[in-house]
Amino acid sequence: MSKKVVEVKTLKVGKYVIFDGEASKIVNIQTSSPGKHGAAKARIDAVGIFDNQKRGIVKPVDAKIDIPIIDKRVAQVLALMGSDVQLMDLESYETFEVPIPDELRNDLIEGAEVDYIIALGNKKLMRIK
């Protein structure tokens, strides 16, 4: 698992964070001001990259949190197989299968180049080039 540890105050909307062992994209961050006896807190709402589950957490802004290292790569479509697609990485020539996202199902053709990401050992097709 490739991940880094950062402070909560450095997070921004659109970046990635690890909640419950799942890589998630941050959709909202709210911070509260420090109180008389407490530190400032941040409420982070995120949506899972691979499972689309909404997650939320409240932590002090100086607390540590894990963020995944997202590896963005390019692949070529080898074969369409029902709800999955077989891809070949254009750098390492590794072949693998990933599910086809609903928004790309009608536009995907064999031989096309696509962008995909690898995070925490999972792969996801992102867009067609």
Instruction: Give the model confidence (pLDDT) of 32-86 as tens digits.
Output: 988 788 889 999 999 999 988 999 999 999 999 999 999 999 999 999 988 899 9
13 has pLDDT over 90: yes
Span(s) in the chain for CATH 2.40.50.140: 71-128
* Residue 101 region by backbone torsions, left for phi larger than 0, else alpha for psi between -120 and 50, else beta: beta
Please give the CATH number for the structural domain made up of 3-68: 2.30.30.30
Span(s) in the chain for CATH 2.30.30.30: 3-68
* Residue 50 region by backbone torsions, left for phi larger than 0, else alpha for psi between -120 and 50, else beta: alpha
- The pLDDT value given to residue 71: 92
Instruction: Give the model confidence (pLDDT) of 98-129 as tens digits.
Output: 999 888 888 888 999 999 999 988 999 999 98
1 has pLDDT over 70: no
Task: Place 23 in a pLDDT band, splitting at 50, 70 and 90.
Answer: very high
Fold of 71-128: OB fold (Dihydrolipoamide Acetyltransferase, E2P) (2.40.50)
